[in-house]
């Protein structure tokens, strides 16, 4: 004789509890990921606030950059600098596919030799448009001889673009490149480069523009991801309640057979 299964047992059988467990795990995982994205956003906000505060600190000079060799560049990031030195024009490179105000062109980078034994710093001098009729033609950039004085702020490295294959860096490399790393560039030129980059600021000069876009901390991206994860968690809850309870209400209220 088959066992009699009550309506309650039919409603709350093993399938019900399996789906309940799966829903709880999915909601816990997605909610945790959403909270993690919020914590990442808070970290990025704190970092951005610290960098903004550094912009208000006293201006650094060439000898202050020596600290990067010992303590690293992290403590100097985004600090304003005022440097004096001489350009090394033969080592100028042009990074392709860089935009400014929506126009494609080059970032122009030239090493600046600091006085005495302070070393050499790579300077991201500005942006210049490219000639699309003759793509290998370099833009007209003026590089003054003798001592110059520039203003800028410290960056850890030159921002990189995605590339399918490593760019040609090293001896004999083209002056037009996709990306540049300080280690490879230092080995190529033989210059005693400091482990940082100075992004030159100020008005247009030497055929270069310097309307640099403000650094994006990425906070909005983390808020967007958090919204998606919390939304997915809420969706799992709504679907669980709908299929496990709401859709069963008519059967729960139905009359049993006489």
pLDDT of residue 258: 38
The structural domains of the chain, with segments of one domain joined by +, span 57-131+146-161+173-200
User: What is the 3 state secondary structure string of 43-111?
Assistant: HHHHHHHHHHHHHCCCCECHHHHHHHHHHCCHHHCCCEEEEEEEECHHHCEEEEEEEECCEEEEEEEEE
* 8 A C-beta contact, residue 168 and residue 185: no
**DSSP letter assigned to residue 246:** G
* 8 A C-beta contact, residue 244 and residue 17: no
Host H or E run for residue 238 = helix 219-244
Q: What is the pTM of this model?
A: 0.74
Q: Quick one: what percent of the chain has pLDDT higher than 70?
A: 88
Residue 3 has pLDDT above 60, yes or no: no
Chain segment 88-146, per-residue pLDDT in tens: 999 999 999 999 988 999 999 999 999 988 899 999 999 999 888 887 889 989 999 99
Chain segment 222-237, per-residue pLDDT in tens: 999 999 999 999 999 9
Question: How sure is the predictor about 248, in pLDDT bands with cuts at 50, 70 and 90?
Answer: confident
pLDDT of residue 172: 46
């Amino acid at each position: 004789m088959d066992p009699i299964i009550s309506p309650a047992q039919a409603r709350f059988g093993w399938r019900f509890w399996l789906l309940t467990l799966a829903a709880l795990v999915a909601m816990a995982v997605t909610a945790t990921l959403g909270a993690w994205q919020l914590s990442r956003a808070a970290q990025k906000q704190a970092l951005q606030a610290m960098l903004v505060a550094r912009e208000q600190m006293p201006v650094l000079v060439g000898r202050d950059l020596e600290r990067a060799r010992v303590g690293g560049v992290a403590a100097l990031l985004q600090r304003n600098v005022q440097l004096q030195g001489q350009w090394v024009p033969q080592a100028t490179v042009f990074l392709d596919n860089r935009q400014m105000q929506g126009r494609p062109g080059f970032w122009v980078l030239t090493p600046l030799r600091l006085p005495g034994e302070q070393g050499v710093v790579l300077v991201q001098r500005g942006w210049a448009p490219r000639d699309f009729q003759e793509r290998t033609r370099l833009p007209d950039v003026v590089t003054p001889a003798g001592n110059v004085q520039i203003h800028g702020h410290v960056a850890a490295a030159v921002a990189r673009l995605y590339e399918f294959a490593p760019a040609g860096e090293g001896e004999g490399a083209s002056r037009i490149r996709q990306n540049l790393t300080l280690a490879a560039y230092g080995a190529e030129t033989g210059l005693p480069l400091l482990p940082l980059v100075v992004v030159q600021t100020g008005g247009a000069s030497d055929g270069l523009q310097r309307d640099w876009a403000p650094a994006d901390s990425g906070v909005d991206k983390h808020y967007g991801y958090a919204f998606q994860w919390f939304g997915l968690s809420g969706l799992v809850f709504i679907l669980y309640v709908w299929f496990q309870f709401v859709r069963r209400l008519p059967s729960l209220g139905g009359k049993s057979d006489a």
